[in-house]
Amino acid sequence: MKQIGFVRHGVTAWNKERKWQGHSDIPLDPEGIAEAEKAAARLADEDWEIIYASPMKRALRTAEIIREANPDIPLVTDGRLVEVFGGQLEGTTEQDRIEKWGSEWRSLLPSLGMEPDEDMVARGMAFLEEIRKRPEDKVLLVTHGGFIRRLLRALVPDLEHSDRILNTSVTVVEMRDDRNLCTLYNCTKHLSDA
């Protein structure tokens, strides 16, 4: 059985402004760095064997901070862990999208250049198939909210998903031969613990 831990990156200025990030390479802001440090302290006690990270600044910096608290485990970047490409949506707020394309803008997604969900899920599942063959049993992935949400829908279809994966939240999936089981979902207890 493989245990996969998904960690969303810390908060960025664009997260706070509610701008669509996608492939826009926005760094963590100071609060995001502090969130990543809290996540790192939490994860240091959990015996993860390897960290894979999206090479995008916000995810990679989060992963580096986690690794600083776990210096004996390797950190590897993989381009398949990048966020869903947002096309023309990147850098826009909900209000911007309504002004540009109307309140039904979601119906226009294919024409606005957004990466189709099935393409993102295919790259994520291909990555996980490789991970399944590796010797490590506890694998941490530091990536992006849209990526995690879409991949979880494919991995654990019966899981009740929220619309938003929280910054530095931890989600754990046990990949079994017969089915996958989500044992922890969207948990941010490290942000509220004193």
Which segments are annotated as binding site? Answer: 8-15, 58
By the 10 Å C-beta count (0-12 exposed, 13-18 middle, 19+ buried), 133 is classed as: exposed
Close Cβ partners of 55 (under 8 Å, ≥ 6 residues apart): 77, 78, 79, 81, 82
Active-site residue identified among 37, 83, 90, 115: 83
Q: How far apart are CA 30 and CA 17, in angstroms?
A: 15
Q: How far apart are CA 7 and CA 177, in angstroms?
A: 23
Is 83 noted as a catalytic residue in this protein? Answer: yes
**Contact between 71 and 97 (Cβ < 8 Å):** no
Q: How far apart are CA 3 and CA 9, in angstroms?
A: 19
Query: What kind and span of H or E run contains 15?
Result: helix 13-17
Active-site residue identified among 9, 37, 90, 144: 9
Give the catalytic positions in this structure: 9, 83
